[in-house]
Structure 1
Amino acid sequence: MPVVGWAPGRPRSLQTRTRGTDDHTGRQLMTTERDALLEAIRAGDEELSTALVEKMDVAARSGCVPAVTQILRGLRPENEWPVFYAGRLAGLACQSTPAAAAKWVLLINRLRRHDFPASSAEILAGRGPEWLGELAHRLAAELDKERKQFEGTPLHYHLVQNLIGLSGCATPTNFGYAIQRLRFGGLTNPDAPILVPIALEVEGFGAWMGVLGLASGLVDMTASGKLDRTALIDQCLGRLFRGGRPHELRGFRRLLDDLALTDDELADRAGDWARLAADADAPTAGDAVQRLRRLIDAGRLDAGLLADTSRDVLARPEKGLVSAQLKHLGQALRSNTDGAGQLLTAVTVAFGHEDNAVQEQAWKLVARHIAAADPAARAQIVEAVAVLTPDLREQATAALGESTPGSERTRTPYQETLPPVVAPQRTAGPPETLPELIGEIVATVAAPHASTVESERALDGLVRFAHRDRAALAAALRSIPAKQWPWQGESHFASGCFPDRLPYPVAGIGVIVFALLLDGFDAESLPVVPPEMSDNGTGFAPQCGHCVFRAAWRARIFEAARAVLAVPPPFLLSAPSWRTGVVDADVLMDRLAEYARLGVTAGPADFDQALLRVRIPSGPERDRLAGAAAALGTAEGTRFAQWLPSGGLTVVEESTGLALPALRDGFTDPFRRLDVLLRKHHDGGPINQDLPDSFLYHQAARPLDLPQWVATLPLVREYIAAQMISTRAGRTDYTYVSDLPLLAAADGPIGPLFHRLLANTLSRGRPDGDMDALLQLVARNEINAKNVGERLIPVNKRGGRQPAPDLLDLVTEIARIGAHTTAWNILAGALPGLLSGSELPRRLGALLSLAADCASTSGATGSIPELDAIANRTGSSQTIKQARRLRQILTEAAR
């Protein structure tokens, strides 16, 4: 037998390999062929491996597939690509069925994400047209799974195309192949008429069509008869009805523009344009409105359909769209008065639009054509006048010459609509069972930032159950899988001593849990002052806002841990009665009485926190509690008896700002530190690098924990506002905004600093929590909305004043819920500052329009002198018109 594939330079073992001799068995012959193929693949010889496969029979080829697959799966970088090229082609040639060949192609794609060249089809040329056609369609179907249909080159598209050419099979009609065929073959390929309708239904084709400018080619295809024009128009409409991304829909709208629809084509689809105008996205609806205008101008739009469509369009919030439809209605009314009644009643839908300019445009249109209205339509118009702003309503009432539901003779006094006052929420009682406690502890320790209420409840529960049976509590904690504790693997805890650098995951109640889990833990190693608050001999006493409040919390944690490992008290004195952190005075009195009965000495940090949380009653109740506390005969009772008549924690104005002088006498060090004007958490200044990692973590990365601040000092919210401003929380940290209602619900008087903090929050355009806080404070009559407005407007370097980007949206939302007086007070406070700057702010016309609406609705009076400079200008811009309107409303209301 001749030598197979002889060529200089090839491995000797391959050059001498033979097909076999007459005395060999068939199995030996197959093994020899298989070995030769595998050695050629390992050598990276694509030509030889292909030649060897061609000489094999079907059974031999199939037997080689597992070994070839194994070679490709085990490739190494140093010989990867030559072996890969040889193996992928040989493996394809070894497949016996179209299904197996398709599976091989997909396997190669998964292994290396590398394309099969189109020439790969030639190795399969002897398989017959039917075999090749089935493979082509199988691979074409896989193109549907491409993630990015319009980017890159699909890994086997060109192979599919070559297989189709070799087999002469029918064109695949799946969408994945249609997209790729149009991408690479364009609209001139013979398959385009079949594939275009399929591709048009694919998400993303509209955007891709617009990018490549295919619309003109599609128009040419309709002109030549290759595409059905009517079907193409209807398909575009169907895609617009479906909706989608802006770029996607823009492509179909442009295609409709390029098709230059005739009046007949527009009229045949009048109902479709009406539906799009009512329900589609704003750009699509705008195009539909313009097409309806063409039908109006041509006199081919039924008045009934126009009226029905207008009611839907005029109810939309988009000012430009509504204004355009009103203009079209004006044109229809000028062209033909038939059906004027139903068109005018449709116009009244715009009376309720939130933009005053739209309301004014709608009323002027009605006033211009009211004579053409029949009595029934006129009655509906009179009824609809009630939803106009008060100033326009008065104009309409005078023009109509009859009383309307909103006229002065029938209008009821304005009532401010505010959300109901949220009642204070009590905390849940302590966990009643050990499994309940364990579940709460695991959830609290594992949570990155457990809520203050959850942490306080878990801390109190730990102390209570340790007092009942510490061994049972420790056993229950040890039953928890180690992977549920965030500090697993912390080898430096093995000594049982409290480390100098405490990792953050055990900075909370995890300290107590760890102490109970670790045999021999030295409770006395827990410091009284948390490590991050120590100056370490450097003289630098940290006053980071995050760290000072957290230090007070950790001092209580360390104290509780020492107590739990020694003599646990029956409960904590400072456990909150309310979700803000407040402790009821009678509750604290009962706890102190139980401590006295049991002879338990209170932990200093726990008692400090309890005093800062207790809400002191007034009058006889305070005197009764003070007498009962003194009668206990304990140091804690005596201190509580002295605390009650002193007024407790009060805020005092000092030269350095607000202060809490009560903390300077008798309180432990972590709580005395709260009586200091705190620094911002990181200002780029010097940081003591010798401080523990936990301090540096809080210094640079930890977000503001406002609930913890409130829970620590729940009775002095003005002081917390001062500390937040001092730490620049309002400028650098927005995480507190959603917690702002909690601060609003806390106790204590509100002063200028709280107003300033709220204004800072509003001016940042983060309305998720600030509006709720503002409205709650207004509903409780605790805040002056005008003072907030005065602090809203920042001054830029050029002396100009600009409202916050979302201020208009925020105040609009306040007015929308019915709080027009509150909205007006905010704007009344903000407008003088806005109008007195060297440059007028953007969107001033909209702000003035909103102010006029709110002033008119709420019956506001007064004057804004800064308004005259704008109102007295010549011109007809919305800013000037709304300034005049606002001045007129304020002037007339004062009469």
Structure 2
Amino acid sequence: MRGDDVAAGAGDGGEEESGVGKLLAAVRAGESGRVPALLEPLDSAARELALVRLKALRAEVRAGKWATPPYVPDRIRSALYVAGAGCLPTPAAAASWLGARDLQVREEDKSLALAAIGDRDPEWAADLAGRLAGRRTVAENSYPLLHGLIVRAGRTVPPTDGYVTGWARHLTGDRLVERLREDPRTPVLVAHALAMAEAPERLARPLGRRPEGHWPSALRTLVGEGVLDRARVLDVCVSRLLRGGPIRSLRLPLEVVRLLAPDAEELRARIPDWIGIAADAPSPAAGYAQDVLVEAASAGALPVGALAEMTAGVLLRTEKKLVRAQLALVGKVLAREPEAAGELLPVVTEAFGNEDTEIQERALKLVGRHLPDVDARTRRELAGAAGLLSPTHRRAAEALFGADLGREVALPYEEILPPVPEAQLVAPPATTVEALVAELVVKRLPEDPVAFERALDGLVRHAHRDRAAVAEAVREAFPSPPWGQEAHCFAHETHGVHVVLAGLLGLLDPALVDFRRGKGHGSDICLHQALSEVLDARLWEAAALVGTDALPFLLAAPTRHTGAIDPLVLVERLREYGEAGVEPAPADLAQALLRVERADPSAGRAAEEAAVLGTPAGRRLAAWLREDAPVGATVRFLRRDEDRTLRRYHPFDRAVVDLGEHPAVRAEFPPAFQWLGGTLEAAPRRCSHREEGRAQWAPVLPADRELLAACLLPAIAHSAEADARGATEPLTALAEADGPVGRAVLLALAFGLGCVDADDRLRAVDAVLVLASRGDLDARGLGSELAWLVAEGSVKPNRLADAARTAAATGAYGTVWAVLAAMLPGLLEQATTAKPVHGLGEVLAVAADCVERCGAGGELAGLEALASGRGSSQLLAQARRLLDALRQGADQVLTETG
């Protein structure tokens, strides 16, 4: 019903109906301020009638029927919000209306809603307040309404995260202390805020230029005044720190504790909690807990058993500063209480397994100083733990423990690499419409390319058999369309498989479909956007053809988990198309060709059978399979010294990818694919839009590893110098793809190993190890690329060292050494003739560990000159360690590595 029809129907029922008509007229005009007064004279029957018409008007607003002047949808929504609050009869219905996503309005309208509710009884108000408070987003933005309901009810409502966030936002300001002092619920709400898993952001803000609005300082003031109970505040803060979590969630309780400065008695009462915080909390909180416990130990208030427990936890941490401080604390206590050695030294040996050999040395020296203070049994226990030490400390351990150390039988080194990944066959699509719809409603479907392709193929197949049945099932499964209320949003975004659902339901503008199907690219499009739009082109094509005889099933549906298609399976699919007299859809066929495994042993036979089909598509497949490289790319990465105008913090500006000329691709592929034929200029290009859909990039080119790497390279390079995350997600699929390993793959791996984000580096490590296990890793080539990237500063040595250490720890010491051995000579020469690269010592430490473990030997150019220098820096110490390890391993015979 249109708004004019609502107005016309409002004048047929006498005085009551006239009141409803005035209310509806005010709502349509967006006059929220008039609504409470217009509601006041209406009885329950009139409000029930008004509610029916308000719901109809709300549906029209959601459908966009009031989006043109003189109407303003936001104002109408505000008036609807207020009017609904006064007409809904139950707290549950009112909470549903006031918490609806399409009716989230301005804060002043929340106060009007409170007026519209009128004089409901206290139980009703309390019930509504509790329901709204339980919905975090709603409660955050509805504090005036919630507070008013609580005051009106005259009773307390249990605090929730959303309500406390709204409360904090409402109170923050220059009069923070006064407003907290005046609020009778401050003790309860503060306790809840301190205990929240994610405290409101404004509560954890630093002191800044407006100290009067600083929450931790305000809470300290209130504790001093007795408004807040000091013991309870400390208990809540310490308990929250003990629960752990990201440091951003712990800033508030940590700062409050620091400002309260607990005295010795308060610290002593919470020693077990501080021990847990020191062991498991993020570094800033753990450091504070360690300082607290050091103070307690200095005062003699930390029992030896508690110190041992603390030491065992802290020595397992990765922060070197905390580990060193803990060893120093244990040393001070043992100097004062040598009789505690029997209890403390066994936990000190936890540091024997630390990745930092300097920390191992400190721990070994500490054990050595106090070894005379332990009995024979403890001495043997300590000697047994010496096996965790790096081989570089083996001689010192032998000198210290003597016969107690025992003799280990030296076994030949054996490289440990992950098993070669086997291709997993993709299961056939869902056999029933019910199972298909169940797959389509999975929210994370786009993040699993195999599941996505299965669902898409299943949708096409079932719609071809019975379009009406699938359409009805889709309508039932999606009563509220996933893409929103307005189908015209597809003009701006494809929305994944939902565009195909919209096509199935007949909701798409045919002109828009034709435009998106034929959309091509300019010569300056970024490569990962080109990858994403390949999928978009396929989806728009499917949206146009779904449920018709022109698309019985998808040719491009993968048969392997990598996205690849078995050549013989694709021939059989084309045979079915030919027998049915169906011409393949252009985008579907193009993607199928890009996915077919040309390196498969059956490719030759498949080419012969495809040619025999006698169809244009069969001939195209036969020619494609017989090409050595129907598409391909070369990549060049500009060094900083090649062009001084290149911006330092935009490494993707320096990637030059040349896709080469492939006339057949440009002539036979649809527009969205023609960039693969060389339509993009081989020039650095910048990407400024969001990098989404990474999971779908690799399955576009599963048979062309080098080409895929070239497309991924700019985004991965960006992640090595910017705080971007997730760019290496396709690297695992890249390692499992087919095709040669060239410079693009090596550069993608090199930048991945140097990414800012630790998870990105871990994915790069996995890719390196998978390539090694398959025998496809060019270790020397990867090392050569890393050498110049580290030298120019594009890859930071500390990040590379972390990645290399992680890879080596899996047992791949020989593989990692092969990479580092090719990388180090140039950097070592620079270190002896000029300023060394900052952090090179960490890389040398990993290299030394690899050599010690795998027994490699030989010479490394520039190492002896560096090791002969004077000084005790980590760089020189690790250079000497590496040189010594190489000389010791020179005569060893290694088993063959993978």
Q: TM-score with structure 2 length normalisation?
A: 0.63
**Partner in structure 2 of residue 24 of structure 1:** none
2 CA distance for matches of 1:448 and 1:476?
18
The answer to whether the aligner puts 1:464 opposite 2:458 as a matched pair is no
1 CA distance for matches of 2:231 and 2:337?
30
Aligned partners of 1:574 and 1:613 also within 8 Å: yes
2 CA distance for matches of 1:707 and 1:601?
30
Q: 1:809 aligns with which of 790, 802, 808?
A: 802
Q: Displacement, 1:665?
A: 8.4
Q: Displacement, 1:674?
A: 0.9
Letter in 2 for 1:359: Q
The answer to whether the aligner puts 1:894 opposite 2:898 as a matched pair is no
| Residues 839-860 of structure 1: CA deviation (Å, up to 9, x unaligned) | 3344444443333333322333
The 3 A distance-change label for structure 1 pair 267 and 295 is farther
* 1:397-476 correspondence runs (5 A): 397-402=398-403, 404=405, 409-438=408-437, 452-454=449-451, 456-470=453-467, 472-473=469-470
**Partner in structure 2 of residue 499 of structure 1:** none
Q: Displacement, 1:373?
A: 3.8
Q: Secondary structure at the match of 1:402?
A: helix
Letter in 1 for 2:462: F
| Residues 393-451 of structure 1: CA deviation (Å, up to 9, x unaligned) | 2331244333746x5x424344444444443333331232234445556769xx89676
**Structure 2 unaligned blocks of 5 or more:** 1-36, 38-82, 87-107, 116-124, 130-142, 192-202, 208-213, 243-249, 637-656, 892-898
**Partner in structure 2 of residue 576 of structure 1:** 558
The more displaced of 549-558 and 366-375 is 549-558
Aligned partners of 1:764 and 1:804 also within 8 Å: no
Aligned partners of 1:266 and 1:291 also within 8 Å: no
Letter in 1 for 2:287: P
**Partner in structure 1 of residue 21 of structure 2:** none
**Partner in structure 1 of residue 577 of structure 2:** 595
1 CA distance for matches of 2:520 and 2:147?
56
Aligned partners of 2:798 and 2:843 also within 8 Å: no
Letter in 2 for 1:865: A
The 3 A distance-change label for structure 1 pair 507 and 417 is same
**Partner in structure 2 of residue 747 of structure 1:** 738
The answer to whether the aligner puts 1:533 opposite 2:520 as a matched pair is yes
1 CA distance for matches of 2:609 and 2:598?
14
2 CA distance for matches of 1:520 and 1:813?
50
**Partner in structure 2 of residue 147 of structure 1:** 168
1 CA distance for matches of 2:503 and 2:232?
73
Letter in 2 for 1:763: G
Q: Displacement, 1:174?
A: 8.0
**Partner in structure 2 of residue 757 of structure 1:** 748
The 3 A distance-change label for structure 1 pair 635 and 350 is closer
Aligned partners of 1:763 and 1:792 also within 8 Å: no
**Partner in structure 2 of residue 484 of structure 1:** 481
The 3 A distance-change label for structure 1 pair 364 and 575 is same
Aligned partners of 2:631 and 2:676 also within 8 Å: no
Letter in 1 for 2:709: A
Q: Secondary structure at the match of 1:426?
A: coil
The answer to whether the aligner puts 1:294 opposite 2:290 as a matched pair is no
Q: Larger Cα Rg: Structure 1 or Structure 2?
A: 1
Letter in 2 for 1:852: A
1 CA distance for matches of 2:549 and 2:381?
81
* 1:156-171 correspondence runs (5 A): none
* 1:325-344 correspondence runs (5 A): 325-334=326-335, 337-338=338-339, 340-344=341-345
Q: 1:718 aligns with which of 706, 711, 716?
A: 706
1 CA distance for matches of 2:837 and 2:682?
31
2 CA distance for matches of 1:328 and 1:808?
29
**Partner in structure 1 of residue 527 of structure 2:** 545
The answer to whether the aligner puts 1:675 opposite 2:673 as a matched pair is no
2 CA distance for matches of 1:590 and 1:177?
68
Letter in 2 for 1:291: E
* 1:222-301 correspondence runs (5 A): 240=238, 243=241, 245=250, 248-249=253-254, 252=257, 281-291=285-295, 293-294=297-298
The 3 A distance-change label for structure 1 pair 274 and 663 is same
Letter in 1 for 2:707: Y
Q: Displacement, 1:503?
A: 0.8
| Residues 549-598 of structure 1: CA deviation (Å, up to 9, x unaligned) | 45554555565566557643532322221232211122123223333443
The 3 A distance-change label for structure 1 pair 490 and 705 is closer
**Partner in structure 2 of residue 175 of structure 1:** 187
The 3 A distance-change label for structure 1 pair 241 and 581 is closer
The 3 A distance-change label for structure 1 pair 413 and 471 is same
1 CA distance for matches of 2:570 and 2:381?
66
**Structure 1 unaligned blocks of 5 or more:** 1-41, 43-69, 74-80, 89-98, 104-108, 115-134, 162-171, 180-202, 493-501, 535-539, 685-698
**Partner in structure 2 of residue 883 of structure 1:** 879
Aligned partners of 1:236 and 1:256 also within 8 Å: no
Aligned partners of 1:417 and 1:817 also within 8 Å: yes
Q: Displacement, 1:885?
A: 1.9
The 3 A distance-change label for structure 1 pair 370 and 677 is farther
The 3 A distance-change label for structure 1 pair 211 and 844 is farther
1 CA distance for matches of 2:738 and 2:343?
58
Aligned partners of 1:326 and 1:347 also within 8 Å: yes
Q: Displacement, 1:715?
A: 0.6
1 CA distance for matches of 2:685 and 2:560?
35
Aligned residues: 694
2 CA distance for matches of 1:553 and 1:325?
55
Q: Secondary structure at the match of 1:806?
A: helix
2 CA distance for matches of 1:649 and 1:602?
20
Aligned partners of 1:430 and 1:457 also within 8 Å: yes
The 3 A distance-change label for structure 1 pair 556 and 319 is closer
Q: Displacement, 1:741?
A: 1.3
Q: Displacement, 1:613?
A: 2.0
2 CA distance for matches of 1:512 and 1:721?
30
2 CA distance for matches of 1:766 and 1:716?
27
2 CA distance for matches of 1:156 and 1:542?
59
Q: Displacement, 1:388?
A: 0.5
The 3 A distance-change label for structure 1 pair 312 and 563 is closer
**Partner in structure 2 of residue 613 of structure 1:** 595
2 CA distance for matches of 1:703 and 1:392?
48
The answer to whether the aligner puts 1:367 opposite 2:363 as a matched pair is no
The 3 A distance-change label for structure 1 pair 234 and 415 is farther
Q: Displacement, 1:337?
A: 4.8
Letter in 2 for 1:774: V
2 CA distance for matches of 1:392 and 1:667?
66
The answer to whether the aligner puts 1:392 opposite 2:393 as a matched pair is yes
1 CA distance for matches of 2:500 and 2:303?
79
CA RMSD of aligned residues (A): 5.6
2 CA distance for matches of 1:351 and 1:524?
66
* 1:166-205 correspondence runs (5 A): 175=187
**Partner in structure 1 of residue 568 of structure 2:** 586
